[in-house]
Amino acid sequence: MSNTHVIDMDLLGRALQHSSGHVCAPGARWHGGGFAEFYRRLAADITAGCASVVSEVKRASPREGGLRDRVFAQELSRAMELRRAACVSVLTEHRLFGGHGSLAIAMGRLIGTPILWKDFVASSEHVAHALAMGADVVLLVAAMHCSAALREVQACAHSHGLGLLYEVHSHADVDKIAPLYPSVVGINSRNLRTFLTGFEAAYAVMSRLPASCAVVMESGVCTHDSARGLRRRLVRGFIVGELLSDRRGIYRRLRWMAEG
């Protein structure tokens, strides 16, 4: 597929428009609480000189289309557990990524790894829904919110015992989350208007974060060299999805991402 593909409308704009009134009725028992285990695993990997791997399960993407079936999701979950992934990111957004909250429930039953609810969370109601569906950590995209809304969602998540992974794309995003004192920040190296990835812009954003923040890189980690280069820049973890869409060599890829 060409790297010059440009989507027809701002992805975040479309996602926020869709998410603002979309909350499915909870249909699962809460389990939550695994956010502390996610932070513990991240800290242990840092101490060991490794990068944490947040392995992503998604059924499709706007750029690549359909990626994997249910059988492969089970196979991948076993690989992730054996490699002790710090977290499993489950992309639950339906319209663009083909996900559903039931996918988070299924992954939670298959493995004992914390679940990151990856969706375009637009309100406290979405946080409560993620909790009801079994999430331990929720992705919060800073670009979708004003500072006041970020504080509201943070307060809701913390009151329910949920962890947060703050996703930033720009210096303005970093400035918005600074008053929230985040301990873990995800930097998305993908431009959500063009879908192109680039680490130089991500490094510039990273330079604005306090040294106390553990940085998790999202998107673009597709080769051994890219993972090694990010580790040299003190990136502490990766969210990796499409790289694992090929059944061959899953264990090997998970290992070199973490250990070099």
Angle at CA of residue 177, ends 102 and 47, nearest 5°: 75
Highest mean pLDDT, choosing among 32-36, 70-74, 109-113, 209-213: 209-213
- Under the banding of pLDDT at 50, 70 and 90, the label for residue 166 is very high
> For the ranges 71-75, 165-169, 202-206, 228-232, which has the lowest average pLDDT?
71-75
pLDDT at residue 79 above 50?
yes
Helix and strand numbers, DSSP H then E, in the chain: 10, 10
- Under the banding of pLDDT at 50, 70 and 90, the label for residue 140 is very high
Q: Identify the pLDDT of residue 246.
A: 60
* Cα–Cα distance for residue pair 125/24, rounded to 1 Å: 10
Domains of the chain as residue ranges with CATH: 11-20+27-259 (3.20.20.70)
Bin 81: left if φ > 0, else alpha if -120 < ψ < 50, else beta: alpha
Q: Identify the pLDDT of residue 36.
A: 83
The mean pLDDT value of the chain amounts to 75
- Under the banding of pLDDT at 50, 70 and 90, the label for residue 28 is very low
Write out pLDDT tens, residues 29-68: 444 556 788 888 888 888 888 888 887 776 555 555 554 5
pLDDT at residue 95 above 80?
no
Q: What is the dihedral of CA 83, 86, 90, 91, to 10 degrees?
A: -110
Angle at CA of residue 217, ends 215 and 222, nearest 5°: 150
Q: Which residues pair with 72 in a beta bridge?
A: none
Q: Identify the pLDDT of residue 69.
A: 54
- Under the banding of pLDDT at 50, 70 and 90, the label for residue 4 is very low
Global pTM?
Answer: 0.78
Residue from 208, 255, 215 nearest 239 by CA: 215
